[in-house]
Structure 1
Amino acid sequence: MPGWIAPAYGSVQRLSPPPPEPAAESPALHIRLTPDDNNRYWTRMWLYQNEFESVWESGQPLELEAVRDALGQQLTARHSHAPRRVEFHVPYELLDVPFESWQIPWRVGKTKELGCCLEVVLRCPDERQGLAEAPWYRKWAWLKAQGGRHPQAVLEVCDSDVSEELGDSLQESEPPVVVFAEVTEPMIMNTLDAVLDGGVPIAIWRRRSDSQEGTAEPIRTALAVDPGPFEVQTLPARLRTARIQRRPLALMWDDPGRIPERQTLTS
């Protein structure tokens, strides 16, 4: 046939199957609480799945009980496509509020603890502005690059480690990116202050009902984590399992890549 050129022998190439599509990210509900001058909070909620979608905003500052009711209404309205995780963006002084213990509507006449139904994480991005922002971003980038099984990813901090210099020590290098606060109740907020100063994005600590001095269960034991490296990305799910087993723990999970717009409609 004129103009036709036979392919060279051996030039036939096998087509490799395309790589699998990444698993679709489960939706998460983000709740931002911005304080006013009367111990109430301007409240805004977003749904995140690949991008942020504003779904609700309070017309006035709310008491925390009203925030809980609004959350319950949002979850009930999305019962057939409920988010897997709820992320509370809170000011520093609310880190000791056990949001994961909030009772939410479950079925007629019955409620359940939020943290037993969904993954619940706390965030404090407003404390990471200014010069504190750089180590936060740097540590999260290190976590993404090195993976959650790196032997230096997790640091366990006890009472004797807590000092005015702890924050400086934590931000000195990329790891650690996770702090297990094996501290007694009076030292919890000091430890979290150092975590924020140091740019550490992830931290776990005991709630007050679980901080019995001398008998507190190690955090690794409560999470069923072996002494060696483990996959850090499993922590939100592990915390939910621990809460179902009545081990009250709090989790800070501050991903700098998951920040909704800072400007609210009411401000």
Structure 2
Amino acid sequence: MTAMRWRARVDTVDGRTLGAGLLVTGSRILTCAHVVKGLTEVCVTFPGVAEKLPATVTTTGPWRSVGDPGDVAVLTLDDPVPLEPCEFASCDVLTPWAGGAAHELRALGFPHGHERDGIHVTVRTDAYRMLREEWLEINVAQAHLQLLDEGCSGAAVYFPDTGKVVGMITDAVLDDERGGVIGRMLPLSSIRRHWEGLDDLLPLDWLPPEPRRELRALVTGATSDRDLGSVFREAFPTFLRPPETFGSVWEAVRFVGETVPGQDRLRRFLVTLTPRLDQEARPRLADWLRRRLPSAEQSAGGRAPASSIIVRLDPLTRGAALELTVSTIVEGVGAVRSGPLRIRRDQVRTKVEHALAAQVRTVHDLDWMIEFVVPERLMNEPFEDWGIPEPEAERRRPRPLRSVPLVVRHVDRLKPLTVSRLTRGRWRTLRARGALRPQQISCRLDYDYEAFYDWLDAGEELCALIYAAPPRDDWLSAALDTGIPIMLWRRRPCADSRHAGCAPEGFLDELAAAVSHLDPDALPVEVMRLRKRARAPGGGDHHCGHRLTLFWDDPARRPDPPLAMGRL
């Protein structure tokens, strides 16, 4: 046990002793709110070490008068002190041990006559002496010892053998001139409820200290558009006797970390919570999740981003009109949605770019991708050449979509069709082998729909196709009908019907060499890189990333309305 130089005395600026305190960081002192009532400036002394250090009252709990809960205050020193702060015990350490008496604890107070150096008081308590779910009743261990008195308020209560702090004395029952044998203390579990910053300092095992402090800081002051109790029940619908509500976002997070079972409990709750937070906190929490608590897929490395903007275009039965819906997904959870909007075919690019500009700020600080979920006739559009105009920078050129991972999907696969089951089966094959290993499709093949379908249908190992040119309509239909989940092609038609001079092998070999070894979930990011390299010096028309379309249809990503988005 180190020398406990963290025990402090709190005085007025003119030297009148108010009570005690404890150094919790290099510049912060914890004491009682009633000790510094009505004051903004005080002085702090560490007896025998440092005298009359100026400090400011920076935080107080809800205490207003005797008997109120929240008798907590935090003082901030004008200048940090080179002293070791106190060390806290765990919040449940005062549970009585089997067959034993109450815990014997100690505190250093500054009652009348002992203002300069302080005097020790020995007390007993345990977790079963709770009063109003706020205080623990304490009593002096033996009647002949120093009693509780004015000047003990704010004194740290600690184990005499280890010096680890378990709480803070708040008041005593003063029944004679000498003081009292009974008093009350705030245990750590109560202090942290009124000053959430204490959780940065406690030995909590559900999250390492650094990411825990970062998480608490970013949710402090955050607001939710739904009651936090209902968010909790949405995340954990089978949890017995869930709380009705929580006082703050951090209180809800802490409850999940310390009470709910399961290894993924915290991430599960935060993913549910993220889209419910205010616009400032939402992207910050999503970014924290990506960095500090990634999903199993993200942890494997090189994966597709978990956040997306999904552009869905459904063909309507009348005319050539389309229904446009744009959704933003943050860490797999729906955050923003616009539409549906009925548009003409010639309005698609303009309307999509406008919708992207309205939603991109939700994900701009994250790793994200764009998913175009469209009918077959739109799969050959040069989506990566479209842009995202920035509404706050009118003179700046739109950001090209090729600057982020971009994939094309088939809108019919969002419907409960047999082909969705086939797609899931081929995805399982892809992930089991851990590499793309695409089948090259030369433009010289003369298969019709039936022959192409039968070939793919019989080849269960065929999970990824590379076409030398835009696939013929019947080839594309056959591939979609057999559940092929990944296809790549160059949007450059062959030179003539006999394919003289189109040299498909060079493109196929180059692209296959670039992607064959990849995990299928890493493909959207790698294709983005190929598109960028094709535009850079040394790239050009013959680079395999030039005018490259990626069809990448993972059936596990189903964040489209009205399925996963229906509850927003």
Q: With structure 1 as the length reference, what TM-score do the two structures score?
A: 0.76
How far apart are the structure 1 equivalents of 2:491 and 2:377? 14
Aligned twin of 1:180: 466
Match of 1:88, SS?
A: strand
How far apart are the structure 1 equivalents of 2:327 and 2:435? 27
How far apart are the structure 1 equivalents of 2:482 and 2:422? 7
How far apart are the structure 2 equivalents of 1:174 and 1:72? 41
Aligned twin of 1:251: 550
Within the candidate set 64, 69, 76, 2:354 is matched to 69
| Paired AA for residue 35 in structure 1 | P
| Paired AA for residue 427 in structure 2 | W
Aligned twin of 2:510: 221
Aligned twin of 2:478: 194
Count of residues paired in the alignment? 239
Query: Are 1:111 and 2:398 matched, yes or no?
Result: yes
Aligned twin of 1:260: 559
Query: How much has 1:222 moved relative to structure 2?
Result: 4.6
Aligned twin of 2:307: 27
Deviation readout 1:189-217 (Å, 9 max, x if unpaired):
33221210221100001113x75551455
| Paired AA for residue 248 in structure 1 | R
Aligned twin of 1:10: none
Match of 2:472, SS?
A: helix
Q: Percent identity?
A: 24
Aligned twin of 1:155: 439
How far apart are the structure 2 equivalents of 1:166 and 1:223? 21
Kept after mapping to 1: 8 A contact 2:371/2:406: yes
Kept after mapping to 2: 8 A contact 1:205/1:250: yes
Query: Are 1:60 and 2:341 matched, yes or no?
Result: yes
List alignment gaps of at least 5 residues for structure 1: 4-17
Query: How much has 1:83 moved relative to structure 2?
Result: 4.9
Kept after mapping to 2: 8 A contact 1:34/1:90: yes
Query: How much has 1:256 moved relative to structure 2?
Result: 0.7
Query: How much has 1:163 moved relative to structure 2?
Result: 2.3
How far apart are the structure 2 equivalents of 1:104 and 1:179? 30
Moved more, 63-72 or 158-167: 158-167
Aligned twin of 1:48: 329
List alignment gaps of at least 5 residues for structure 2: 1-98, 100-262, 264-291, 300-304, 536-545
How far apart are the structure 2 equivalents of 1:72 and 1:215? 40
Query: Are 1:166 and 2:452 matched, yes or no?
Result: yes
How far apart are the structure 2 equivalents of 1:38 and 1:83? 38
Kept after mapping to 1: 8 A contact 2:431/2:520: no
Within the candidate set 59, 81, 100, 2:384 is matched to 100
Kept after mapping to 1: 8 A contact 2:307/2:330: yes
How far apart are the structure 2 equivalents of 1:83 and 1:31? 17
Higher relative CO (Cα under 8 Å, sequence separation at least 6) belongs to 1
The structure carrying a bigger helix percent of its residues is 1
Q: Name the larger-Rg structure.
A: 2
> Relative to structure 1, is the Cα distance of residues 211 and 78 closer, same or farther in structure 2, using a 3 angstrom cutoff?
farther
Aligned twin of 2:73: none
Query: How much has 1:257 moved relative to structure 2?
Result: 0.6
Q: With structure 2 as the length reference, what TM-score do the two structures score?
A: 0.38
Query: How much has 1:73 moved relative to structure 2?
Result: 2.6
Within the candidate set 428, 431, 434, 1:141 is matched to 428
Query: Are 1:236 and 2:524 matched, yes or no?
Result: yes
How far apart are the structure 2 equivalents of 1:237 and 1:162? 32
Match of 1:218, SS?
A: helix
Match of 1:122, SS?
A: strand
How far apart are the structure 1 equivalents of 2:336 and 2:509? 36
